[in-house]
Amino acid sequence: MEVSKQQTMPYYYIPGQQEDLFATEQRLHLSKQSYFLGLKPYPDIPVVEGREVSIYDMLNPSALAYANKHQLSVVLHIPRKERLHSRENRQELLACITDYPKIRYIIAHVGRAFTYYDIEGLIDFLLPYENVWFDTALINSETVLTYLFQKAEPSRILFGSDAPVAFLRGKDVTINNKHYYVSEKAVPWGLGPIEGTLSAFTFYIYEEIRAMIYAAKLVYGNEARPILEQVFYQNAKRLLR
């Protein structure tokens, strides 16, 4: 946060598991900083025993009340291994949306929907709520983005790159409803690097853009261009100003 303050760079604040955000506000005056965008909790930060991390471990009551009071954006990474397949996640998310309606919820990675299996029928319960947005960071699946365009208002879709990961060469592939990286960086959920093939790869971010354009054209046809202008720029400008 200090780097952002010195360089006047926009940033999201990561709330602590037990942190009192109102006390933090008194100390740091976050809401008065023009470069403060909102909250961005991560599921790998809270410490719990004997169970998986919940949304309420990431956003405690003071964080939710603080964000609601100041009408903040909250970029929410869905926790638990089953993501939106988890009934507990869906119940907690719906409770947050209805109990704290002034928060602008940005569902990161469309609920971590990197495969069609992880989006089909799973975002539909969120569609009636106008305070819910969908961030497409790192999604390069044409079927996932096509479903998103078919279901969600384009005004609530935000392009995200997930840089710096998006600057790696590669692409996701789906095998048996699981997604795997095929990239220059070896990871436990990856199938690469594959020697001799990387020279033909482009960057993840280009695969994301390619899939986004394909899905928009498939759903909107000749009207795709203004839709893409919303997704790539106008929606974020409207949300964050």
Class of domain 2-162+204-240: alpha beta
Mean pLDDT value of segment 106-130: 98
What CA–CA distance (Å, rounded) separates 115 from 157? Answer: 17
User: What confidence tier does 43 reach under pLDDT thresholds 50, 70, 90?
Assistant: very high
Question: Token match 């919303």: residue?
Answer: 230
Where are the chain's structural domains? 2-162+204-240
**Percentage of residues of the chain with pLDDT beyond 70:** 93
| pLDDT for 139 beyond 80 | yes
Residue count of the chain, please give it: 241
What CA–CA distance (Å, rounded) separates 75 from 232? Answer: 17
What CA–CA distance (Å, rounded) separates 34 from 67? Answer: 15
What CA–CA distance (Å, rounded) separates 236 from 241? Answer: 8
User: What confidence tier does 185 reach under pLDDT thresholds 50, 70, 90?
Assistant: confident
**Percentage of residues of the chain with pLDDT beyond 90:** 83
What CA–CA distance (Å, rounded) separates 152 from 167? Answer: 28
Q: Are 144 and 117 in contact (CB under 8 A)?
A: no
Per-residue confidence (pLDDT) for residue 194, from 0 to 100: 59
What CA–CA distance (Å, rounded) separates 41 from 171? Answer: 26
User: Within 10 Å of residue 131's Cβ, how many Cβ atoms?
Assistant: 17
Per-residue confidence (pLDDT) for residue 187, from 0 to 100: 74
**Burial tier of 115 (Cβ tally within 10 Å: 0-12, 13-18, 19+):** buried
What CA–CA distance (Å, rounded) separates 186 from 181? Answer: 9
